[in-house]
Amino acid sequence: MPLRSLLLLCFLTPACGGPDRSPLSVTIEYPDGGPPLNKHFSFVVDLQGQAGELVDVDADMPSHGHGINTDPVIERIGNERYRIDGMLLHMPGAWELYFDLKGSDNKTRRIVVPLELAHQ
């Protein structure tokens, strides 16, 4: 049984829902030991009742002005559950993970999950 944990969240960016919407959240299940530094890894995202379909996953280091060097692949593994393969966070420091959800209105909204990756 996967123990899930993680949480969620959203910072109230425009991509993250307006005043009339509750903040978006997703649950992320990382592999043992958490997201590894500079190694390919897979993880599971649960949309937790967010309306929409996960259409893109990406990541950046905003303060470094660059993204990731891989193209992660999304696979739907359950109703609201997706497995992401091919993520690689190649530097320690402040990352942002991006989850783009396409709603039934065909609009894409972005959930931003900050992640501080330590030296390992």
Q: Is 30 in the site for other proteins (CB under 8 A)?
A: yes
| Count of CB atoms situated within 10 Å of the CB of 91 | 13
Binding footprint of other proteins, residue count (CB under 8 A): 51
Residue pair 39/26 in contact (Cβ under 8 Å)? The answer is no
CA nearest neighbour of 99 among 108, 89, 107:
108
The window from 6-14, 22-30, 53-61, 73-81 that contacts Cu ion (CB under 5 A) reads: 53-61
Question: By CB under 8 A, what part of segment 41-100 binds other proteins?
Answer: 42, 44, 61, 63-73, 83, 85-86, 88, 90-93, 97
Q: How many CB atoms lie within 10 A of CB 5?
A: 9
Which residues contribute to the site for Cu ion (CB under 5 A)?
61, 64, 91
